[in-house]
Structure 1
Amino acid sequence: MLDRGGTGRMRCATALLTGLLLVPGLAGCEYREAGDPPASAPARQISSSPTASPTTNRAMLDVEAKNFTELQQRLGVASGTLLLEDSVAVGAPGVWFQKNAMVKTAGTYTVTAACVGGPDVRLSLNQDPRTGATPVQLVLDCSQVTSQLVQLQAGYVSAALVQFNPGSAPWTGAVAGVRITADN
């Protein structure tokens, strides 16, 4: 039997109203994996300028700022044509960054990287394997600057920095930076 009265419209309106009341309540729900930072911690974003860790601890932010200053001193001024340069805080579990750059001319490039405030950081350089490029993996000892010549092919290169053992020392204030230059 076809309902020509208001009963069908009333059911539809009730269902719509119920849905509208449930949606705001569900908007506050969150799903986290074990070990994820608390919801109050802002998400890390890749940036071309140094960024602080997602902590509100003023003393830790001061440590990071001091470490960024030391990192810039260690890396010094770029010599040659700059292809890629970035630095980031890596002193917390799950904090890392990745940055891409376009290699216009295949050849030998200098990779310079350093870290301050932690025991070590891993640097990965990758290119499309179809170019014949070999991935580069370096473990940076934070007591020194690492510099290495690498062969890059034309195309994108991806550089990633991550704390080598992220569970070992959370919220340390550790920072890391990488620079890729072409010799002129």
Structure 2
Amino acid sequence: MRGVLLIAALVVFAVGCKKPTEKPANPTEPQMPTSTETGANTVACRVNSEVHIYKGVPTYLNADGVLFGLYPDRNEYFLQVTAGGIAEYKDNIWLLLYDTAVQLNTQYPFSVTETDKNRAEYSVEAGSYSKIYKTKGSSGFIKFTRYDKTVAAGTFEFAAYNDQGEKIEITEGFFDISRPQ
């Protein structure tokens, strides 16, 4: 009889023990959106683990938003993805790729050297000036998952440093921007 009671007690104990549940996401904190390739004019990433979401198209009176451009620079062309969140985050992200023959699903490294000028930059307002963080060496990438006449979309991540050696990490980044016709 004792054996039966012992087994019954163990079963009750085992059933009563629950694995602690994970802490639910804070509903007031922004969650990372799902990446798209529709021309939604969205750039999202984590800046030192904090979710930043940039949307819309900037105008003369509103600097917030995202842009994609193909620009001539010293007889070269470069692609630029820009995200500005001046109102909410007080920051900007620039992704520059000096290769206009984009191949889909190819990781283009940010590795600022004399022969490779692909780079990423992050700036944040800090009072009356901006702290600028730049990539050094091989510290990230940009990858296009869609690139045609109407949409530029892809992923990115990088680590960057300011002049004081402070590091910022941009992770889980994606962009989905309509291209001007």
TM-score grouping bracket, smaller chain normalisation: 0.3 to 0.5
More strand by share: 2
Q: Output the TM-score relative to the length of structure 1.
A: 0.34
Flag the structure with larger Rg.
1
TM-score by length of 2: 0.35
